[in-house]
Amino acid sequence: NAGVTQTPKFQVLKTGQSMTLQCAQDMNHNSMYWYRQDPGMGLRLIYYSASEGTTDKGEVPNGYNVSRLNKREFSLRLESAAPSQTSVYFCASSDLSETQYFGPGTRLLVL
């Protein structure tokens, strides 16, 4: 039981490059989330998926797209990376018990 896994752990991009952050959970949770964490800003919701087949915008969705591939997997795509997207990205999942389970994070540096 791995919980929530994220790949890659660390990535360096040049401005304008694209990439996809992968997330998978093995807890059979319906809801999945993508957050970004910046110093002094806490965790800010980028996108979330309440259930398979649905996605919705969070607080800071601009510059990102998501895909809920199936119940297990929820990916985050940066189409054209910008330095402002340098951050630590966390994926999380939850069930109706309200607890969010977070992955280990992806550290992204955009030059």
Partner 1 sequence: QQQVKQSPQSLIVQKGGISIINCAYENTAFDYFPWYQQFPGKGPALLIAIRPDVSEKKEGRFTISFNKSAKQFSLHIMDSQPGDSATYFCAARITDSWGKFQFGAGTQVVVTP
* Contact residues for partner 1, defined by CB under 8 A: 4, 31, 33, 35, 40-45, 48, 50, 58, 90, 92, 94, 98-105
- Min dist CB 65 to partner 1, Å, is 19
- Min dist CB 108 to partner 1, Å, is 15
- Min dist CB 64 to partner 1, Å, is 16
User: What string of DSSP letters covers 35-79?
Assistant: EEEETTTEEEEEEEESSTT--EE-S--TTEEEEE-SSSBEEEEES
Rg (CA), the chain: 13
Alpha-carbon gap, residue 60 to 47, rounded angstroms: 8
Q: Which is nearer to partner 1, 5 or 17 (CB)?
A: 5
